[in-house]
Structures are given as structure tokens and as C-alpha cells.
Chain A
Amino acid sequence: MSEPILEATDLVKTYKMEDVEVRALRGVSLAVRPGEFVSIMGTSGSGKSTMMNILGCLDRPTSGSYKLAGSEVSKLGRGDLATVRNKVLGFVFQSFNLLARTSAQENVELPMVYAGVGAAERHERAIASLEKVGLGKRLDHTPAQLSGGQQQRVAIARAIVNRPKVILADEPTGNLDSRTSIEIMALFQELGRSGITIVLVTHEPDIAEFTNRVVMMRDGKVLSDVTQTPVDAREALANLKEGE
């Protein structure tokens, strides 16, 4: 078996408030191999987002080790973490987080701007990326001119444009209806087949069905970790159509 691309060991995260300490993570270990499609589930407040923030190099654990693509990143400074996020990771958020009044293409170009990619190559790759998510004809549309599902597709195009090894998505379908959610999952499955590792957080068991591994969290710990055969999202979509 290949080496894990994500390897978190004994992660502890403690938030110090004025008089109370909130222990959001109490020793979580998780290893994800390249190409895996993992969903993290759990009740509200169980520490899923905290976990994702550390995996996404947006935050550092209070203790424990986190190796990303073979190198320890839990002790890196803000600047280096930014570079890691830019080169190795892609993010998809629940609320899309596209820049308002900015075209889809320019939104997708943004990570390449910080990677120092030249303008011509930026345009080319952004267009290719948008075509991949099925928005090749919406390059000039601003977020206000796009549906929620389309906005999330733009966000996914932005997440993959720098050719990351891992995509992290915190409740990417949380703001979408069930049909659009399945379409987005179909897109993730397609990306997974091309070799990208995906970790997503979801509340909905229906969504977790499309992933090949489900990690359950409770009170800052991993409760269960089950590998499964995923449901094919395209088939699910086809069935939906027949039912109509």
C-alpha cells in the first residue's frame, strides 16, 4: 500500500477562552491514502470543522503531528502555511466564498495569481478548469448571475486549478438542494477517479454514501472509521430522472 498523503497523529486542539478551555479535538489520528474519498460525519460541535482547519493548514494543532505529502507542517509559520495551501491543497466551502462582482474566470484565476503564474497561462488554465466542471460557457458570469450549484462548481474549478493533491470541503452541499448536491458529488467522484484525494465534511448520510470511507467523530474523537463501496452519483442522478 502507498504512503498516506495526509497523516494526522494524536491531534489535540484546545481553545482557551477567558475562563473556560474548550477541547475541540482530544487526540485524533487519521491517515488518508492518495486517491481516497473520505467523508467526516458527526454531531454538531464534535470537532469536524476544527479537524478540517488543521488538515487544511489554516490552523495549527495544540499538540500532535500532522504530515502532509510526507512533510511535517504542524509547526510551519503563517507564510509557509499559505504556500502549502496554495500548492498542495484546494478548498471548497459551504458558502462558496467567491469574490462578488468578479467573473467566474477571474475567481478561478485567483489561486494562480498567488502562485505567480503568468497571465496567459492563467487564462488558459482557468478556462480549462471551468470547462472541466461544465461551466465553459459561463466564464464571464459573476456569482450573482449563477445558481448555487453553479457557484459551487466555480469554487471547485478554483480548488483544482493549481493541481492540488488534496481537496478539502467543509459541508460543500450544505447550501444546495438534494439534486444539485448529487451533481456536485458526481463531480467530486470524477475528480477522485483522476487521482485527487478528497476529504469532505457532511451532516447527511445520503451524501456520505458517495464516498469510499466514512469517519464518524464525537466529542473531539474518532468514533468509527468505515471503508465502503461508494454509490455511483451518476447512476443516482439517472435514477432520479427516471423517477420524474
Chain B
Amino acid sequence: MNLFSTFRVAVLALLLNKMRSFLTVLGIIIGVGSVIAMVAIGEGAKAEVQRAFDKMGTNLLVIRSGSAQTSGVRGGAGSQPTLLWTDVDAIRKETLYVTKVAPSLRQSVQILGEGKNWTTSAEGTTPEYFEIRNWTFQYGGPFNEQDVSTKAKVAVLGGTVVDNLFGNGADAVGSTVRINNVPFEVIGVLARKGQAATGQDADDVVMVPAGTFAAKVQGGLRQYLGGSIYVGAATPDDTRRAQAEITQLLRARHKLRDDEADDFTVSSLAEAASARQEGTETMTRLLAGIALVSLLVGGIGIMNIMLVSVTERTREIGLRMAIGARPGDILIQFVIEAVVLASVGGLLGVGLGFGVATYLSSEFGWATKIDPQIVALALGSSALVGIGFGLYPAHKASRLDPIQALRYE
């Protein structure tokens, strides 16, 4: 008996009892469906986090004043500046793995433009910063080294600031804005990044040369750097090495004894990212467990209904044997029926999961991502469940005695 006719017979047999077949595979449908939907959400979230970190710049280290370990005593990281302006140059010159260095001074400011007023975060930095943080420009461009050293009054605006001062998406290059009442010429508008991984609006920012910032916005401090230092490296491996290098260098420069703790913190975004990934790994394992249990329960349901089906169709089995079906033909017929049943369940489950994921992403704006591998895995394991749990009823059918089977009422 060829495979195609066997499939046809199986499908027809299942269609005769549509409701029963459906109820039988409901367990598999719900199990597979929920796993597909949850994995889709999990994968979507993972991709979203990854995208957010990519936007911030991946091979990135942030150095802040103050020790993480003793923050309680010292009043928190960054409260008392310990980083020196000369540290920036030292990191650039005395390390192997650091490719870019830029200071970042931040302060909340009032910004005025075209008669409108907006409170935003001003950032004083150097041109390399744009590269380290993957900032690109929608209009105009960054300031240069000369602007930094001459303390030029030029500014780069983030998209949100432009929206609030000049109207949505306006080209503000050439306009003048006043930051804390000091006039600055707008020379660039940053391309938008949207929400940062931390949840803040990354585009709500105005950037000015570090020198200008220290002189006109922050004031006061000379020797100490009242912010953080951003460092870029070429690869994730280099980033790790750079972290060790910087720690060693800064300890030496700050003349810390061996028994003294660091008076600065070097943190990496990669660490934060991988911590997030580990969380989703646990979640994935949990989902796999749920899937396994639901497939098992579904499989038992299939075995049960197949046993019922074999009993109901005893006469049919007897007849098929009488006219020439070998035991193997009967075995395959029922195994295939179980496989078709389970696979249809798996398929409907994938459809359900897909539907739920699509609904969630359109209704709640949740990011979802259907992984074809998971779909293949779900279908494959459904089919396997069909084989596994269909084998016993099919074997029972194939061992029937044709005479008794034909006489069965």
C-alpha cells in the first residue's frame, strides 16, 4: 500500500470524526500555541534589547568617579569627582586596546530657541564621542577638536529638542539657541535613536564641546572631570582587555595603595547585555519544559483516541486483512493516522501561537519574533509524539485476528 493512499485514508478517517479529532489534539494545539507565542515574545524582547544596546554602542566602557564597592561610605559613584582631565589623555596614550576616548559631562539645562523653552540634558564632550556612541547626523555634523580647544559656542541638538523648539523634524542647523542664557550656534542635528535601553529618551539631549561646557555651563572644576569617560574598543575581547588595562592605569595614576579600593568604576555594557540574555535563557528552558509536558499530555490523548478508533474499526481492519492487507500495512495505516492527527495539532498550534503573537504585537506594541527553528521543532516533536503514542494502538490493530475482527459487532 503506497504512502499517499495511506495518508488519504488517514485524513478521511480523521475527517469522519472532526469534533473528536479536534478535541483530541486540543492539548497539543494549546501547548504548542502557547510555547510558540511565548517564545515569539521572548525572542522579540531579546532582539529589542540587543538593538537598544547596539544603538548605545556595543564595545563600550564607561568610567565613573567613585567606587562601586564603597559607594555607601563615599556617597555614591560620581558624587565626589576623582577622575582627572589628564586621565582622558593618559587612557588614550598609555593603553593598547582602547581605540577611542571621550569625556562626557552631563547637566540638566534650560534651552531656548525661537522663543520656546525646553529643559533637557546638556552633554559636554569631544568629537570621538559621536563615534563611540554610534551617533549619526540627520542634518549638519559634529564639532571638531578645534571647537573643543577654542571653547567654541556651537551645539548639536537631539531630535526631541529640535521637535520642541523648532517643530517636528525641522532642520535647525544655522539657528541660534541659548543654553543657560549663553547663545550657541546649532551646527548639527542628531539622527534619532528613540528609547535607550535604560528607558530614557536618547534624543532629548544637546551636545556642546567639552571645553565650552566646562567654561559656560558647568563652571568651577578645573583639574577634576565632573562626569564620566567613555571608551571604545574594537571587539568584545578587546573591550574586556581594555577594562583591565584602564583599571591598572588609573590605580597607578591615582596613586592607590594595594589595600585601597578603586576610586573609580569601569563598567561595560556587554556585561549588562549578557545578564539580560541569561535571564531569557532560563525563560526558554522553562518554556521547553511546558512544551514537553503539553506534548506528553497530548500524546496520551492521542493514544487513547487511537485505541478507541482501533476498537471501533475492528471490522474494517478485519476486512482489510481479508482482502490482502499485511500486518505491516495496518500498522503503518494507524501510525500515520496518529502522526497526521498530532501534526495537524502541531500545525494548528503554530497557527494559534502566530495569531496570539501578532495580536499582542499589534494591540500592545510588544515586539515579537517567530523563529522558524522553533516552528520546525514544534512540528517535528508533534509528529514524533504521533509516532510514539500511535505505535501501541497501531501494533494492537496489526495483531488482530482477521476472522475475529470480521465477526466483531
Interface residues of A in 138-174 (CB under 8 A from B): 158, 162
Question: Does any Cβ of B come within 8 Å of A83's Cβ?
Answer: yes
Interface residues of A in 94-137 (CB under 8 A from B): 97, 99, 101-102, 110-111, 113-116, 119
Question: Does any Cβ of B come within 8 Å of A79's Cβ?
Answer: yes
A195 CB, nearest partner CB in chain B, Å: 21
A82 touches B2 (CB 8 A): no
Residues on B with beta carbons closer than 8 Å to the beta carbon of A87? 324
A114 touches B324 (CB 8 A): yes
Residues on A with beta carbons closer than 8 Å to the beta carbon of B327? 78-79, 82
Known contacts A113-B5, A114-B1, A116-B1; A58 and B324 CB within 8 A of each other:
no
Residues on B with beta carbons closer than 8 Å to the beta carbon of A29? none
B10 CB, nearest partner CB in chain A, Å: 13
Residues on A with beta carbons closer than 8 Å to the beta carbon of B324? 82-83, 85-87, 111, 114-115, 162
Residues on A with beta carbons closer than 8 Å to the beta carbon of B321? 82
Question: Does any Cβ of A come within 8 Å of B170's Cβ?
Answer: no
Q: What 1/0 flags go to A171-203 for Cβ under 8 Å of B?
A: 000000000000000000000000000000000
Q: In whole angstroms, what is the CA distance A70 to B98 when docked?
A: 93
Residues on A with beta carbons closer than 8 Å to the beta carbon of B322? 56, 58, 85, 91, 97
Interface residues on A, range: 20 to 34
Q: In whole angstroms, what is the CA distance A83 to B12 when docked?
A: 25
Question: Does any Cβ of A come within 8 Å of B92's Cβ?
Answer: no
Known contacts A93-B406, A97-B406, A113-B1; A79 and B326 CB within 8 A of each other:
yes
B323 touches A86 (CB 8 A): yes
Question: Does any Cβ of B come within 8 Å of A53's Cβ?
Answer: yes
Residues on A with beta carbons closer than 8 Å to the beta carbon of B16? 101
Q: In whole angstroms, what is the CA distance A114 to B320 when docked?
A: 9
Question: Does any Cβ of A come within 8 Å of B329's Cβ?
Answer: yes
Q: Among A53, A158, A162, point to the contact of B403 (Cβ < 8 A).
A: A53
B319 touches A82 (CB 8 A): no
B20 CB, nearest partner CB in chain A, Å: 15
B326 touches A158 (CB 8 A): no
Question: Does any Cβ of B come within 8 Å of A209's Cβ?
Answer: no
Q: What 1/0 flags go to B317-336 for Cβ under 8 Å of A?
A: 01111111111110000000
Residues on A with beta carbons closer than 8 Å to the beta carbon of B402? 58
Closest to B322 in A: A91
Residues on A with beta carbons closer than 8 Å to the beta carbon of B55? none
Question: Does any Cβ of B come within 8 Å of A10's Cβ?
Answer: no
Question: Does any Cβ of B come within 8 Å of A59's Cβ?
Answer: yes
B320 touches A110 (CB 8 A): yes
Q: In whole angstroms, what is the CA distance A79 to B2 when docked?
A: 17
Residues on A with beta carbons closer than 8 Å to the beta carbon of B406? 93, 97
Closest to B327 in A: A78
B316 touches A99 (CB 8 A): yes
Closest to B402 in A: A58
A97 touches B319 (CB 8 A): yes
Question: Does any Cβ of A come within 8 Å of B315's Cβ?
Answer: yes
Residues on B with beta carbons closer than 8 Å to the beta carbon of A86? 323-324
Q: What 1/0 flags go to A26-56 for Cβ under 8 Å of B?
A: 0000000000000000000000000001001
Q: In whole angstroms, what is the CA distance A87 to B329 when docked?
A: 16
Q: What 1/0 flags go to B262-279 for Cβ under 8 Å of A?
A: 000000000000000000
Q: In whole angstroms, what is the CA distance A206 to B219 when docked?
A: 125
Q: Among A110, A116, A119, point to the contact of B323 (Cβ < 8 A).
A: A110
Residues on A with beta carbons closer than 8 Å to the beta carbon of B318? 97
Known contacts A99-B316, A101-B16, A114-B329; A85 and B403 CB within 8 A of each other:
no
Known contacts A113-B1, A113-B5, A114-B1; A158 and B328 CB within 8 A of each other:
no
Q: In whole angstroms, what is the CA distance A91 to B402 when docked?
A: 13
Q: Which of B322, B326, B329 has the most CB of A within 10 A?
A: B322
Q: In whole angstroms, what is the CA distance A111 to B16 when docked?
A: 22
Residues on B with beta carbons closer than 8 Å to the beta carbon of A110? 320, 323
Residues on B with beta carbons closer than 8 Å to the beta carbon of A119? 5
B310 CB, nearest partner CB in chain A, Å: 15
Residues on B with beta carbons closer than 8 Å to the beta carbon of A79? 326-328
Q: What 1/0 flags go to B1-29 for Cβ under 8 Å of A?
A: 11001000000100010000000000000
B171 CB, nearest partner CB in chain A, Å: 70
Q: In whole angstroms, what is the CA distance A115 to B325 when docked?
A: 9
Closest to A96 in B: B319
B328 touches A116 (CB 8 A): no
Q: In whole angstroms, what is the CA distance A83 to B316 when docked?
A: 18
Q: Which of A53, A82, A101, A111 has the most CB of B within 10 A?
A: A82
Residues on B with beta carbons closer than 8 Å to the beta carbon of A53? 403
Residues on A with beta carbons closer than 8 Å to the beta carbon of B316? 99
Give A residues with C-beta under 8 Å from B: 53, 56, 58-59, 78-79, 82-83, 85-87, 91, 93, 97, 99, 101-102, 110-111, 113-116, 119, 158, 162
Provide 24 A-B residue pairs closer than 8 Å at the C-beta atoms, listed in order of the A residue: A58-B322, A58-B402, A58-B403, A78-B326, A78-B327, A79-B326, A82-B324, A82-B327, A82-B329, A85-B322, A85-B323, A86-B323, A86-B324, A91-B322, A97-B318, A97-B319, A101-B16, A102-B12, A110-B320, A114-B1, A114-B329, A115-B324, A116-B1, A116-B2
> What are the 4 A-B residue pairs with the smallest beta carbon separation, nearest first?
A86-B324, A114-B324, A82-B326, A111-B323
Given A58-B322, A82-B326, A97-B319, 5 more A-B residue pairs with CB atoms under 8 Å apart are: A58-B402, A82-B324, A82-B327, A85-B323, A162-B324
